[in-house]
Amino acid sequence: MDPSMASIPQSQQSIDHHMQHHTQGNMSTQQQPSQMGGDEFGYTLLNYDTPKIPHLLQTAQLDVKPILSSNIGILEGLSKPATNAQTLLNLSSTSLPTLFLCGTENQTPSMINAQQQPMLPKNGLLFGRIDPSTKQPLPLKLQNIEEHVRYIEWLPKDPRRIVVAMNAELGIVVLNPELDEIQEIDTFPKFHQDTIRQFAINPINQSLVISGGFDEKVFVTDISKLVDDIQSNQMKSENSVYLCQDVVSSVRFHPSDSNVASATTDQGVLHVFDVRTGNTSKPAFVYDTGKIELFTHTYLDDFTVCLGYGDGQIQVHDIRTGRSLLNIVDKCLSVVGDFHYEPSKRLLISLGMPKFSLYQVTASSFEVLHAASPTSYQNNTTNPIGPTVTHGTFIPQTSQFLTTDNFGMISLYDL
């Protein structure tokens, strides 16, 4: 749990409480699938519960390499990582390292004086590179920052720039031309009134970013205009806003229509809307799933959305009709906090508490390929950090993904 919670609004406290202390929902454990339609868009999905962890670990172990660095040590409360495979820059070469960046999200207070008053350590951004031949990390580099990191994504067409949500502000991290250290961090003028939960970068126009959080709004922002304003010493924000009227838990762009975005709320509502200001040709689609603690979503195709909940439940919906096509319980997660989907390989990573599950999405089912269980020290309930919260992301153009957690562990997985 975030130790600075006393200064966080009640809405954020409630979500952090769910993410740290929520238990597994009471769901059926029978392994008797029943067909749930979906034929019109190519899916025949099944309604079933996933097997338990020991069975998965015996049948599908992944190759994992912890990433540690003696020059940095362990940083608690690591955020979601962002990655960029530098082989994309030079297709004739495989000698360029993979880059990753993550930040501190939750930290444990340290006692600093005789009165034993807790003080929160400085936050930081952790920049690293992975050698492609050895798959081992090169020396990590730490940059101190004031605010904690809530979300982070690499600009897909720019190896030097990474968008970062730091508390209630968006900013951009710029690497040096050699791509081996952070050159500068530019913070944009503040427009969110509360902490940002997630943002998404437009797949066509990477200057367009949507962001949502505890102020119950989704902002549509052209960050290139903000960069120009900063360079001309103007402190203003230029964006439009979509009102969700509840805490926004996740945001995404549509996979094939870059003018369409979606957002979920903690109360279980899915919003699909046009990001163009004043456009009324495509009215917003608002669907109440009827289930609270809807923490994340992702698209499996143009019309199929996967939803993740605070009790470990995963649902799949057809956004054309709102019809539920799949309802399963992820036995490996007590809380589903985030999804990452790789459409070319049809792989879905479900992340949250305590670790993650890896699914192969087929025409007939979600097949569990792997589930990671926490180590013994992560199961220690007396640890002040609390239960394990795991983040992760695929590394572009590779068969690898990277995970971080609130115990300060960074791990590289080979599929």
Query: Which tens digit of pLDDT belongs to each residue from 120-147?
Result: 557 889 998 888 777 777 888 888 898 9
Return the top range by mean pLDDT from 8-17, 287-296, 320-329.
287-296
Query: Which tens digit of pLDDT belongs to each residue from 242-266?
Result: 999 999 999 999 999 999 999 999 9
Query: Which tens digit of pLDDT belongs to each residue from 207-230?
Result: 999 999 999 999 999 988 777 666
Provide the whole-model pTM.
Answer: 0.78
Q: What is the pLDDT of residue 61?
A: 39
C-alpha angle 326-327-332 in degrees, rounded to nearest 5: 125
Q: What is the mean pLDDT of residues 192-200?
A: 96
Q: What is the pLDDT of residue 189?
A: 87
Q: Residue 43 pLDDT > 70, yes or no?
A: no
SS (H, E, C) the chain: CCCCHHHCCHHHHHHHHHHHHCCCCCCCCCCCCEECCCHHHCCCCEECCCCCHHHHHHHCCCEEEEECCCCCCCCCCECCCEEEEHHHCCCCCCCCCEEEEEEECCCCCEECCCCCCEECCCEEEEEEEECCCCCCECCCEEEEECCCEEEEEECCCCCCEEEEEECCEEEEEEECCCCCCEEEEEECCCCCCCCEEEEEECCCCCCEEEEEECCCEEEEEEHHHHHHHHHCCCCCCCEEEEECCCCEEEEEECCCCCCEEEEEECCCEEEEEECCCCCCCCCCEEEECCCCCEEEEEECCCCEEEEEECCCEEEEEECCCCCEEEEEECCCEEEEEEEEEECCCCEEEEEEEECEEEEEECCCCEEEEEEECCCCHHHCCCCCCCCCCEEEEECCCCCEEEEEECCCCEEEEEC
Q: What is the pLDDT of residue 23?
A: 31
Q: What is the mean pLDDT of residues 254-283?
A: 86
Q: What is the mean pLDDT of residues 343-348?
A: 92
149, 82 Cβ separation under 8 angstroms: no
* 320 or 281: which leads in pLDDT: 320
Q: Residue 368 pLDDT > 50, yes or no?
A: yes
Q: What is the pLDDT of residue 38?
A: 34
Q: What is the mean pLDDT of residues 235-245?
A: 77
Q: What is the pLDDT of residue 218?
A: 95
Nearest to 209 by CA among 200, 217, 218: 200
Return the top range by mean pLDDT from 31-35, 102-106, 259-263.
259-263
Lowest mean per-residue pLDDT among 27-41, 173-187, 342-356: 27-41
Q: What is the pLDDT of residue 121?
A: 59
Q: What is the pLDDT of residue 131?
A: 80
Q: Residue 32 pLDDT > 70, yes or no?
A: no
* 21 or 83: which leads in pLDDT: 83
Q: What is the pLDDT of residue 310?
A: 96
Q: Grade residue 46 by pLDDT with cuts at 50, 70 and 90.
A: very low
Q: What is the pLDDT of residue 262?
A: 96
pLDDT averaged over the chain?
A: 75
Q: Residue 378 pLDDT > 50, yes or no?
A: no
Lowest mean per-residue pLDDT among 7-11, 44-48, 254-258: 44-48
Share of the chain above pLDDT 90, in %: 39
* 142 or 165: which leads in pLDDT: 165
Lowest mean per-residue pLDDT among 14-18, 55-59, 379-383: 55-59
Q: Grade residue 28 by pLDDT with cuts at 50, 70 and 90.
A: very low
Q: Grade residue 74 by pLDDT with cuts at 50, 70 and 90.
A: low
Q: What is the mean pLDDT of residues 94-100?
A: 78
